[in-house]
Amino acid sequence: MKIKNKLRLGFGFLFVVVLFFGAVSIFYIHEISDSAKVILKNNYESLNFAREMRTVLDEDRLPLNDKSKTDFSHQLTLEEHNITEDGEGTAAAALRIAFNELQSSASPLTQQENAEHEARAQLRQIEKLNMQAIVRKNDSAQASVRKATLFLGLAGTFTFLVLFSFSVNFPGFIANPMRALLEGIREISLKNYNQRLNFTKNDEFAEVATAFNEMTDRLKEWENSNLATVLSEKQRIETIIEQMQDAIIGLNEDKEILFINTAAANILNLDGKKVIGKRADEFTIQNDLLKSILENNNSLRPFKIALNGKESYFQLESREIVIPNLNPQKTVISIASKSVGKVYIMRNITEFKERDEAKTNFIATISHELKTPISSIKMSLKLLKDERIGPVNPQQLELVEHINDDSDRLLKITSELLDLSQVETGNIQLNFVSSDPLEIVNYAINAVKFQAEQKGINLDINASNNLPKVLVDVEKTAWVLVNFLSNALRYSAEKSKVIIGVSEKKGEVIFNVRDFGKGIDEQYQKRLFERYFQVPTDGQNKSGSGLGLAISKNFIEAQQGKIWVESAIGEGSSFYFSLPSHQDNK
């Protein structure tokens, strides 16, 4: 049965019960009303007629006058038409006979007195009969009232019980299926796809239950299919991770180990099967390497591990495991993400490190071997220019100058390569001494003074007063400043100027060299201090080896300093480096 029909039947039943109770009440109220009407209309009028006739007899002496006779006759006639009780008609007839005697003028006084006495007796009889009727009818009315009260009480009790039972049980036809449906939906929200609804009645709830069960079947199929896909992808990823040569270890947000491949287990000396699901903190107490890895925040410096009797180099990287932050409490899904763990990757760079060392050794060897013949060539050129050996014509002298320039460039490149090999091998020899910053500036200016005079470029010094001393390797610091000045002179126009600035700020001494050349495009500025990088030129200026700024960066950072550049097209360039003041190191 449909829910709509159930509601109709339920409310129709309530309507019938209310009609039944109302009909019973109306019936008994009407019955009590009829009984009361009979008492008032019939018996009361008979008593009133008898009272009026007695009043006539009481107020007038015998013989009766005409008015009294008329009043008595009128009341008697009304009584004769209002006969309601047994014996009342006989009394009324006897009263008529006695009245006839009273109104006869021929009757003697004694006979009239007897007639009056008879009339009074009949009046008493009429009153007695009506009074008895009133009592009897009153008793009957009381009985009807009691009966009506009983029946109305029973009907009211029955109606109350029916309505109470209806109010208690009928809502269950709606509420119970709704409650079962709500519980089923809650179970589905908890991913309990085995939940089922069973409604035996043929109504809309049964149709909802059928649709609900079909939905759970589809969800269960989707969950199983999705789970199978996830497990397949998980196994595939685990296989890929296991086959990788790099050491990989993954932790969740609670620092529990999610996965670790064989390479990582071998390096960290851990049993890969036993550590899965356990907190990494349990192993860092006795495993310094694991502790160092977890505390290292993406250090770019490789570290060395003795593995299988051989020194191996690894580069540590870490990545956050980020997922979308889907908050079920919000009506709008947030696009923000949250971290649920971290992956640590130790890339095996032993092969690259070995190649890099071989390259560095090769460069150092070649540079060292080249330096000797180049020095010999320069000595020969110097002898050629000596007139004691013999004069040279202008053309020969020009060739000698070109050879000398190229030899200087070769010697500079060779020196830079040797310095680079020291930087790459970590064998930078620093001789720290307390020095005045202006002495370093003057040393550098003297080194490039001749070059500046050839192009007519003024070298201006802009230095603050009372500069603190710096604890540095003077030769290498001056080399950096010379490199800055050489580049500035190379890319400055003739008869321009270059400004050398020295200032102190927050416990650091800042050196800078500013030129007013064409400037450096922003896209190249971040790569200026990389090895072998050269800014593209227009062909008017000879480019260097691309090593000077890279070596300068290593020299400055080895002295706990910083190096950077500021430049804009058309405004020139400013190269800076800063070093800690000597007072800060005391």
For the beta carbon of residue 520, count every other beta carbon within 10 angstroms.
19
Strands (E), 355-473: 432-435, 458-463, 470-473
Q: What is the pLDDT of residue 422?
A: 61
* Structure tokens, 281: 């903190």
Q: What is the pTM of this model?
A: 0.40
Task: Please indicate, yes or no, whether residues 98 and 152 belong to a single structural domain of this protein.
Answer: yes
Region 210-238: mean pLDDT is 75
Average pLDDT over residues 161-167: 76
Lowest mean pLDDT among 30-39, 252-261, 395-404: 30-39
Q: Tell me how far apart the alpha carbons of residues 583 and 586 are, in angstroms, rounded to a whole number.
A: 5
Q: Which domain CATH number covers 388?
A: 1.10.287
Note the pLDDT of residue 585: 43
pLDDT for the residue 439: 92
| Three-state SS sequence of 538-550 | CCCCCCCCCCHHH
Across 277-281, 308-312, 465-469, the highest mean pLDDT is recorded for 465-469
pLDDT recorded at residue 81: 85
Q: Are residues 415 and 344 in the same domain?
A: no
For 70, 77, 170, 427, 525, the CA distances from 67, given in Å and listed in that order, are: 5, 15, 77, 164, 148
Q: Is 63 exposed, middle or buried (0-12, 13-18, 19+ CB in 10 A)?
A: middle
Give the residue from 424, 439, 461 where a domain finishes. Answer: 424
Residue 577: per-residue pLDDT: 95
DSSP H or E run through 208: helix 204-243
- Whole-angstrom Cα distance, residue 455 to residue 515? 14
189 located within any domain: no
Into how many domains does the chain fold?
Answer: 4
Q: Tokens standing for 141? A: 């009315």
pLDDT per position as a tens digit, 106-159: 667 787 778 888 888 888 888 888 888 888 877 777 777 777 778 778 877 877
Residue 208 scores a pLDDT above 60:
yes
Is 142 found in the same domain as 9? Answer: yes
CA neighbor of 242 nearest in space, from 273, 221, 212? 273
Rounded to an integer, the average pLDDT of 395-421 is: 68
Confidence of residue 563 (pLDDT cuts 50, 70, 90): very high
Is 434 part of a structural domain of the chain? yes
- CB-side exposure of 22: number of CA atoms within 13 Å? 6
The verdict on 505 and 545 lying in the same domain is yes
Tell whether 532 and 409 lie within a shared domain: no
Which range of 194-198, 336-340, 554-558 scores highest in mean pLDDT? It is: 554-558
The answer to whether position 193 is within a domain reads no
Q: Are residues 128 and 261 in the same domain?
A: no
Residue that is last in its domain, among 424, 457, 473: 424
Question: Looking at the structure, do residues 273 and 342 belong to the same domain, yes or no?
Answer: yes
The pLDDT value given to residue 566? 93
Nearest by Cα to 477 from 563, 545, 408? 563
> Among 368, 369, 479, 359, which Cα is nearest to 424's?
359
The letter for the amino acid at 184 is: G
User: What does the angle CA 538 – CA 539 – CA 542 come to, to the nearest 5 degrees?
Assistant: 120
- State how far the Cα of 107 lies from the Cα of 508, in Å rounded to an integer: 164
Q: Using alpha carbons, select from 294, 288, 350, 344 the residue that is nearest to residue 319.
A: 344
In this predicted structure, the answer to whether residue 235 has a pLDDT above a threshold of 80 is: no
Mean pLDDT of the chain: 77
437 and 366 within one domain:
no
At residue 207, does pLDDT exceed 80? no
Range of the structural domain that residue 562 is part of: 429-585
pLDDT in tens, 509-521: 999 999 998 888 8
Q: What is the pLDDT of residue 586?
A: 43
- Written as one letter, the residue type at 417 is L
Clarify whether residues 341 and 474 are in a common domain: no
Shared domain for 416 and 435, answered yes or no, is no
Whether residue 428 contacts residue 551, with contact meaning beta carbons closer than 8 Å, is answered with no
Residue at a domain's end among 314, 348, 382: 348
438 shares a domain with 392 = no
CB neighbour list of residue 174: distance below 8 Å, 6 or more residues apart: 3
d(CA 437, CA 442): 9
Report if residue 192 sits inside a domain: no
**Is the predicted pLDDT of residue 373 greater than 90, yes or no?**
no
- Give the dihedral sign, CA 69/72/74/76: negative
- Residue 251 is part of a domain; what is its CATH number? 3.30.450.20
Same domain, 166 and 90: yes
pLDDT of residue 363: 62
For range 61-86, the mean pLDDT:
82
| Least trusted range by pLDDT, from 91-95, 219-223, 299-303 | 299-303
**Which 8-state DSSP code applies to residue 495?**
T
Residues in the chain: 586
Residue 472 counted as domain residue: yes
CATH code of 433's domain? 3.30.565.10
Judge whether 184 lies within some domain: no
